[in-house]
Amino acid sequence: MLVLFVTVNVKPEHREEVLRGIHIDATGAQKDEPGCLRFDIIQDQNDPNRFYFYEVYRDQKAFEAHLAAPHFAAWRDIPKSYFSAETTVLRGHNLSPSDADYR
């Protein structure tokens, strides 16, 4: 499985618009992509304009399908000027639970 942990920092004046795009992407991924096993949106406890995504895909092919999905455009097309820092993406593979035990 492919696991992503994404950190996003949003300018306060664009918070609601960015959140709209994030929700469209996450909801579409969970609803329409069988290879997307999880897509959590987490708000930082101390900074209301910092968000984390925890995404789990069955494999690289499932992630590539996500990038090509129509709902991904709601996230991809958000202007870079709406962010207060560069978005970071950490990629990894889960150790526990094992792929066979993941639900």
Averaged pLDDT of the chain? 95
Residue 17 CA to residue 29 CA, distance in Å, equals 19
Residue 61 inside a domain? The answer is yes
Q: What pLDDT, on a 0 to 100 scale, did the predictor assign at position 96?
A: 86
CB contact at 8 A, 50 and 9: yes
Q: What pLDDT, on a 0 to 100 scale, did the predictor assign at position 61?
A: 98
Residue 65 maps to which CATH number? 3.30.70.100
What is the mean pLDDT of the segment spanning 65-90? 97
Residue 100 inside a domain? The answer is no
* pLDDT of 103 above 70: no
Q: Domain range for residue 61?
A: 2-87
Residue 96 inside a domain? The answer is no
Domains identified in the chain, total number: 1
| pLDDT > 90: percent of the chain | 90
**Confidence tier at 101 by pLDDT (50, 70, 90):** confident
